[in-house]
Amino acid sequence: MNLRLTHKPLPGLLLIGVALAVAPFVVQAGLGIYWVRILDLALLYMMLALGLNIVVGYAGLLDLGYIAFYAVGAYVYALLASPQFGLHLPFWLVLPAGAAIAAAFGVLLGAPTLRLRGDYLAIVTLGFGEIIRIFINNLDRPVNITNGPQGINLIDPISIGGLSLAQPQVLIPGLSSAHAYYYFFLALTLLAIFICIRLQDSRIGRAWAAIREDETAAEAMGINTRNLKLLAFAMGATFGGLSGGLFASFQGFVSPESFNLMESIMILCMIVLGGMGHIPGVLLGAFLLTILPEALRYIGDFQRAAFGHVIVDPSDLRMLLFGLSLVLMMIFRPAGLWPSTQRRRELGQGGEQVPGLYDEQR
């Protein structure tokens, strides 16, 4: 699918726009305000997934520690806009600062790992993610910086021109915090999508694709692989840092718990499940994997309806079914739910020519 806006018929675009605008109200009417917050989270995860997609989908660098940048962004926001140090800087200062510091961490991670390939890179990034988390978890002694496992509370909400997104009803009656954040996140997600589309079609995007397909050949073609890989890490980290800051302000609370390895894996699952390197697929994957665990909370009600009482504790069953659905979705759609046409074509050919396992070039 081509996402270039000029190719889209205008009515369709308008329809999508209207649907996105009324979505939180429809959801609130149908499912309640809790689900509007889930929508907010889904948008947040979409931004995160788009960022990781730059690293994994575009440049082909398997990153299992992506959540570290999210954590850096979140903690920068938390430290600069909360009672922890008594600082209350405005969000338009703190968010870019968080994104920039995350980008610096991205380069810090990228620089020593440039020579590593595939799974070695995966484990190093994983280790990096764990290192950041352990530091955050333990930097409450001897000097209290991160407040350790308790996390940082009472983080300032984002406030635009006197309108606090935590209490928008003060200025606009009837608008709840979840709605306000929805529109704010939606605007940023659309911006992120736009940046990703432009990146993908740019000289840089094509260079990334070349590195992903064959690094040696790309280098022979005069592509500066070192700088471009660093750029991919930095770009992905910027997205991560930004989303982290948004997350901190949205939740009002951060703790090291939110940034464990499982979260990194979750975001990777989103992009692989949706269709790696393909923006609509990535968005779909992020949306589904945010919604699915929440939707599975209702299995308790389902059991009550079907058997008259709860047989297995739904919170136990929830992640079990989630794991199962990951396996099933991958078995039936190995290229992702919504792969790009190019990728689908490649796979179609691959299946007819040589079985992948026996293909040394794989």
Partner 1 sequence: MDTFLQQLINGLVLGSVYALVALGYTMVYGILELINFAHGEVTMIGAMVALSVIGALVGAHVDLPGIAIVLVGVLAAIPACMLLGFTIERVAYRPLRNAPRLAPLITAIGVSILLQNLAMVIWGRQYISFPPILPRTTYHLGGATLSALQIFIFVLSLVLMAGLIVLVQKTKLGRAMRATAQSPQVAGLMGVNINSVISLTFIIGSALAAVAGVMVSAYYGIAHYYMGFLLGLKAFTAAVLGGIGNLGGAMLGGLLLGVIESMGAGYIGDITGGFMGSNYQDVFAFFVLILVLVFRPSGLLGERVGERA
Residue 281 and residue 337 in contact, taking contact as beta carbons nearer than 8 Å: yes
Q: What residues contact residue 242 under an 8 Å CB cut-off, 6+ apart?
A: 47, 51, 73, 95, 98, 99, 102, 188
**Residue 20 or residue 326: which is nearer to partner 1 going by CB?**
326
We find the least distance from the C-beta atom of residue 115 to partner 1, in angstroms, to be 5
Counting beta carbons within 10 angstroms of the beta carbon of residue 81, is it exposed (0 to 12), middle (13 to 18) or buried (19 or more)?
A: buried
Task: Dump the DSSP string for 264-311.
Answer: HHHHHHHHHHH-TT-HHHHHHHHHHHHHHHHHGGGHHHHHHHHHSS-S
We find the least distance from the C-beta atom of residue 172 to partner 1, in angstroms, to be 41
**Residue 20 or residue 295: which is nearer to partner 1 going by CB?**
295
**Residue 147 or residue 176: which is nearer to partner 1 going by CB?**
147
Q: What residues contact residue 341 under an 8 Å CB cut-off, 6+ apart?
A: 1
We find the least distance from the C-beta atom of residue 268 to partner 1, in angstroms, to be 8
Other beta carbons within 10 angstroms of residue 103's beta carbon come to: 24
**Residue 198 or residue 359: which is nearer to partner 1 going by CB?**
359
Task: Dump the DSSP string for 95-124.
Answer: HHHHHHHHHHHHHHHHGGGTT--HHHHHHH
Residue 42 and residue 290 in contact, taking contact as beta carbons nearer than 8 Å: yes
**Residue 4 or residue 141: which is nearer to partner 1 going by CB?**
141
We find the least distance from the C-beta atom of residue 238 to partner 1, in angstroms, to be 22
**Residue 137 or residue 153: which is nearer to partner 1 going by CB?**
137
We find the least distance from the C-beta atom of residue 319 to partner 1, in angstroms, to be 5
Question: Nearest-CA neighbor of 244 among 126, 42, 67?
Answer: 67
Residues in contact with partner 1 by CB under 8 A are 56, 62, 112-113, 115-117, 119-120, 122-124, 126-128, 130-131, 134-135, 137-138, 141-142, 214-216, 261, 265, 268-269, 272-273, 276, 312-313, 316-320, 322-327, 330-331, 334-335, 343, 347, 350-351, 355-362
Other beta carbons within 10 angstroms of residue 276's beta carbon come to: 23
We find the least distance from the C-beta atom of residue 137 to partner 1, in angstroms, to be 8
Other beta carbons within 10 angstroms of residue 314's beta carbon come to: 18
We find the least distance from the C-beta atom of residue 11 to partner 1, in angstroms, to be 35
**Residue 138 or residue 169: which is nearer to partner 1 going by CB?**
138
